[in-house]
Amino acid sequence: MRDVFVIGAGQTPVGEHWHLGLRELGAAAIRAALDDAGIETVDALFAGNMLGGAINGQENLGALLADAAGLLPAEAWKVEAACASGGAAVRAAALAVAAGVHDVAVAVGIEKMTDAVAEQVTVGLATASDGDYEASHGMSFVALSALLMRRYMHETGACREDFAPFAVNAHRNAASNANAMFREPISGEDFARSPQVAAPIGVLDAAPVCDGAAAVVVCSREALRPAHRAVRIAAAAAATDTIGLAGRADLLTLGAARRSAEKAFAASGFAPQDCDLFEAHDAFTIITALSLEACGFAPRGEALKRAAHGCFARGGCIPLSTCGGLKARGHPVGASGAYQVVEATAQLRGEAGANQVAGARVALTQSIGGHGSIAVTHVLEA
Amino acid sequence: MDLPRYHRLTAPYYRLEGRRCKRCGELQFPPREACGACRGRETEPYRFCGRGAVYSFAEVAQAPRGFSGPYLVALVELEEGVRVTAQLTDVDADEVEIGMPVEMVTRRLQEKGPQGYLVYGYKFRPVMSRSRAS
Amino acid sequence: MRASRAVGIAGYGAYVPRLRVRTADISATWRVRGAAAPAVAEKSVPAADEDVVTMAIEAARTALERAGTGLAWIDAIGAIWVGTESKPYAVKPSATIVAEALGITPHVVAADMEFACKAGSEAMQAAVAFVGSSMVEAALAIGMDTAQSKPGDALEYTAGCGGAAYLFAGADEALAVVEASISHVTDTPDFFRREAAHYPEHGGRFTGEPSYFRHTLAASRKLLAEVGSEAKDYAHAVFHQPVPKFVEKAAAELGFTPRQIRTGLVAPRMGNAYAGSSLLGLAAVLDVARPGDRVFFCSYGSGAGSDAFSFRVTERIAERRRGPSVLDYLERRRLVDGYGQYLRLRGKIRRS
């Protein structure tokens, strides 16, 4: 398998883009990434998206975006892995290049959630869960996270407020990210007072409904040019776990996240302590905590204690959500995995501005779907 | 209206029927074609007794379309050791605790509109008193 | 009427929802100050996830559990009828859903029955006939209702929710044997609902003497004559319960004492459960009846008619009381927060 490099990264701001549809968002991110790579076209396009069919009445996004972005007649198809679709699209592009099938490919993560009313979005998000044994029983996506959070609090003795550092950190970093949806910092008090959505999940525990697209161009060593500010994909891995939470061997272990991280670390030769930053799947503060534990940044049940010590904040031992994360940069669900790679790339290129992690050399990104039923992990190296 | 889909789900929905692996004895709910423990392909129907305890719970305030909130959802650990996700019923939010004993009842899960199909299935409620149990 | 072989009740189960609404709250919206107090203080209300099907399933499960040795009955049951006037589907049987939930399909006779408040006892007559003719070994008869009532109408103060299920089998399996039964019907339009109407219509005072009393008394007298017994021979008497006053009056006319009707009179605590009413009263009696007790039963359904039964309790009753009793259901009680919440639960608030 060949080495794979990220040579271009592009994104649209995350927000409520009433005037931009799937075509416009996708084409904008793709063209920005191609321009960043200094190239006109690619051999293949992989479009990561979750809700195109459920909300926008549009599937076949590979063809749609190849058409919209001027990339016909490239190989192009949609990659779907619930909220990990963006990460899975990057993996698909990297696999194609690593296998020697293509020399240059673009992966775009794209989501257009605001075309539907809240109830319909909730139905769409629930398609990530077990349709017959969770969604059809009225489990909303938020409710499933609430089940995890309440059990975590029960087993560890933690209280709601102990989760605040993740949200506070994310919003602080988003304030200096021009592409982030939320630009105002929040305090621990704001977090404690936030209205309950599905107790114990409050408004500030959860990522927002929004639109956005992010894209990365990957290529083989042979296709590298001196002008490329290339970042190497040191390793990538994906794994699955039971589709429903009820089937998990240990409810509070994200088995797929752990397995994919272990495999990625093993393949890359890096260990958790080598990482300079972690773009975790912080869709909910509880998922952040469980991801940290799954990837080896804290023992089971200890993530909140470490968070309280500032371990995961700017300047801490492993900075999280360095550009705002899913929480504050935003979580256009199928796009987030691509945003993570775009942001990690900026960090490793030293181009993250006010959010720069000093001397960042190794970055971990992890995109999770369906409360841990699928996880895609990338290790990137400067 | 998803009529064929819900028709297929009759046994698990109405009778909490899962599967038992003939090879290793592992019980599973929902039913799967293959055993989750040993990957064996020979399984037989198994009806769970319906008694269990609350493993975790949450209150849904913003209900998905087709549901009318607020309502309680839970992970219930059945006596047989298998967990199932379901709504709780006949109980108020402030009465629920992790560890609370519950029993399965059959209730309306969904109404596909006033002219539409009714989906019945399992929910769990606090165990009812049985003052004259012999 | 007597079947060709002796039959009886092998198991029984009740159901009453947990929620209650105070009739004083209904009164406060519709009536003038100083109006007469409602006939019952509170009535049972179904939760948003309950209906005749869900309640029938629970009552039937209890009936099977009480009949003992669980699974053998699954193969023995050859018929199931659900009698109700609040079917979830106007067209599609509730009985098949109940049958599937119990696991007794596919070789069962199954249907829903309608005869206003006597649809449940109608099912009992059919069960007695199918078992008594040896066509089937066992049959389930269920009477259950969540009947609607027009907002502000007199019936809204009493229309409650609940019912019971009876598993009939041969007398050698019975906790109570059927001595005989009678049906007495005429075409009397005291209360009815057209297909597309949400709420029923009724004839006010016409529902009394020419309707409830005429049929209840005629059927009861005919049964007593057929069996050759008098009111005093019975430990308990159960009647259909539109309001407590009607039961007290009919009982007195037939010579039953207040003591005899007390146990089976559930309406004061939950209102009128329509097709479930007399069956619930019978279940309440069976919860306390002793071997050798005779139990008198007479239902009433508008339209109109009555089914009267004479039962004799056997020594098996003592071992057939596993599961929640009628009192357990009546004591399981949570007040709905006022008339508005009640209207919302019963779908009486127009949203489009």
Q: What is the pLDDT of residues A347-380, one digit of tens each?
A: 999 999 999 999 999 999 999 999 999 999 999 9
Element (H or E) spanning A379, and its range?
Answer: strand A374-381
Does residue A331 carry a catalytic annotation? yes
Higher pLDDT, C261 or A209: C261
Residue A247 has pLDDT above 90, yes or no: yes
Return the closest-CA partner of residue A369 out of A323, A320, A330, A334: A334
Q: Which CATH class is domain B3-11+50-127?
A: mainly beta
Give the minimum alpha-carbon distance from B26 to chain C in angstroms, rounded to a whole number: 23
Catalytic residue, candidates A83, A210, A295, A323: A83
Of the partner residues A136, A151, A244, the one whose CB lies closest to the CB of residue B119: A136
Q: Are strands B51-60 and B17-21 parallel, antiparallel or unpaired?
A: unpaired
With CB atoms and an 8 Å threshold, state whether C89 touches B14.
Answer: no
Catalytic residue, candidates A17, A102, A281, A331: A331
Residue B134 near chain C (CB below 8 Å): yes
Compute the residue count for chain A: 382
Beta strands in B22-93 (DSSP E): 27-28, 43-47, 51-60, 71-78, 83-88
% residues pLDDT > 70 (chain C)? 99
Of the partner residues C49, C103, C329, the one whose CB lies closest to the CB of residue B123: C49
Mean pLDDT value across residues C227-249? 97
Beta strands in B61-115 (DSSP E): 71-78, 83-88, 101-111
Catalytic residue, candidates C42, C50, C58, C117: C117
For position C71, what pLDDT does the model report? 54
Q: Enumerate residues 6+ apart whose C-beta is below 8 A from C343.
A: C151, C349
> What is residue A137's three-state secondary structure?
helix
Q: Are A360 and A319 in contact (CB under 8 A)?
A: no
With CB atoms and an 8 Å threshold, state whether B109 touches C324.
Answer: no
Q: What is the mean pLDDT of chain C?
A: 95
Q: Are A126 and A141 in contact (CB under 8 A)?
A: yes
Residue C143 has pLDDT above 60, yes or no: yes
Contacts of B105 in chain A (CB under 8 A): none
Q: Are C16 and C162 in contact (CB under 8 A)?
A: yes
Which of C71-80, C216-225, C256-265, C278-287 has the lowest average pLDDT? C71-80
Does residue C117 carry a catalytic annotation? yes
Closest residue, chain B, to A141 (C-alpha):
B64
Q: Enumerate residues 6+ apart whose C-beta is below 8 A from A275.
A: A318, A362, A363, A364, A379
Q: What is the ipTM of this complex?
A: 0.94
Give the minimum alpha-carbon distance from A147 to chain B in angstroms, rounded to a whole number: 5
Give the minimum alpha-carbon distance from B41 to chain A in angstroms, rounded to a whole number: 18
Between vectors from CA B28 to CA B24 and to CA B31, what angle results, nearest 5°?
115
With CB atoms and an 8 Å threshold, state whether B36 touches A242.
Answer: yes
Mean pLDDT value across residues A228-249? 97
Give the minimum alpha-carbon distance from B91 to chain A in angstroms, rounded to a whole number: 16
Closest residue, chain C, to B92 (C-alpha):
C334
Dihedral sign for Cα atoms in the order B68, B72, B76, B79: negative
pLDDT bracket for residue C217 (50, 70, 90): very high
Residue C33 has pLDDT above 80, yes or no: no
Query: In angstroms, rounded to a whole number, what is the distance separating the alpha carbons of residues A373 and A244?
Result: 8
For position A254, what pLDDT does the model report? 98
Count of CB atoms situated within 10 Å of the CB of A208: 18
Amino acid identity at C24: A
Dihedral sign for Cα atoms in the order A116, A118, A123, A129: positive
Query: In angstroms, rounded to a whole number, what is the distance separating the alpha carbons of residues C164 and C181?
Result: 19
Contacts of B88 in chain A (CB under 8 A): none
Query: In angstroms, rounded to a whole number, what is the distance separating the alpha carbons of residues C165 and C104?
Result: 15
Residue B106 near chain C (CB below 8 Å): yes
pLDDT in tens, chain B (134 residues): 688 999 999 999 999 999 999 999 999 999 998 998 999 999 999 999 999 999 999 999 878 888 887 999 999 999 999 999 999 999 999 999 999 999 999 999 999 888 999 999 999 999 998 876 44
For position A64, what pLDDT does the model report? 98
Q: Are B53 and B102 in contact (CB under 8 A)?
A: yes
Query: In angstroms, rounded to a whole number, what is the distance separating the alpha carbons of residues C298 and C227?
Result: 14
**Helix extents (H) in chain C:** 23-30, 52-67, 71-76, 94-102, 119-132, 214-227, 244-254, 258-262, 267-270, 277-286, 326-331, 339-345
Dihedral pair phi/psi, residue C177, rounded to 5°:
-90, 145
For position A54, what pLDDT does the model report? 94
Contacts of B59 in chain A (CB under 8 A): 143, 146, 196, 198-199
Q: Are A363 and A375 in contact (CB under 8 A)?
A: no
Residue A122 near chain B (CB below 8 Å): yes
Closest residue, chain B, to A201 (C-alpha):
B58
Contacts of A138 in chain B (CB under 8 A): 60, 63-64, 67, 71, 73, 87, 109-110
CA distances from C294 to A270, A381, C12, C291, C298 (A): 84, 88, 17, 9, 13
For position B134, what pLDDT does the model report? 42
Domain boundaries, chain B: 3-11+50-127
Mean pLDDT value across residues C128-156? 95
Query: In angstroms, rounded to a whole number, what is the distance separating the alpha carbons of residues C313 and A181?
Result: 74
Contacts of C101 in chain B (CB under 8 A): 14-15, 106, 120
Give the minimum alpha-carbon distance from C308 to chain B in angstroms, rounded to a whole number: 28
Residue C36 has pLDDT above 60, yes or no: yes
For position C264, what pLDDT does the model report? 97
Residue A102 has pLDDT above 80, yes or no: yes
Span A108-156, pLDDT tens digits: 999 999 999 988 898 899 999 999 999 999 998 899 999 999 999 999 9
Of the partner residues B90, B130, B132, the one whose CB lies closest to the CB of residue C47: B90
Residue C58 near chain B (CB below 8 Å): yes
For position C176, what pLDDT does the model report? 98
Over C28-82, what HEC string results? HHHCCCCCCCCCCCEEEECCCCCCHHHHHHHHHHHHHHHHCCCHHHHHHEEEEEE
Q: How far apart are the first and last CA of chain A?
A: 20
Between vectors from CA C123 to CA B50 and to CA C72, what angle results, nearest 5°?
40
Contacts of C337 in chain B (CB under 8 A): none
Q: What is the mean pLDDT of chain A?
A: 96
For position C69, what pLDDT does the model report? 66
With CB atoms and an 8 Å threshold, state whether C53 touches B133.
Answer: no
Query: In angstroms, rounded to a whole number, what is the distance separating the alpha carbons of residues A263 and A270?
Result: 11
Return the closest-CA partner of residue A170 out of A215, A205, A142, A216: A205
> What is residue A313's three-state secondary structure?
coil
Count of CB atoms situated within 10 Å of the CB of A222: 9
Does residue C156 carry a catalytic annotation? no
Mean pLDDT value across residues C30-41? 84
Query: In angstroms, rounded to a whole number, what is the distance separating the alpha carbons of residues C53 and C63?
Result: 15
Longest C-alpha distance within chain C, in Å? 59
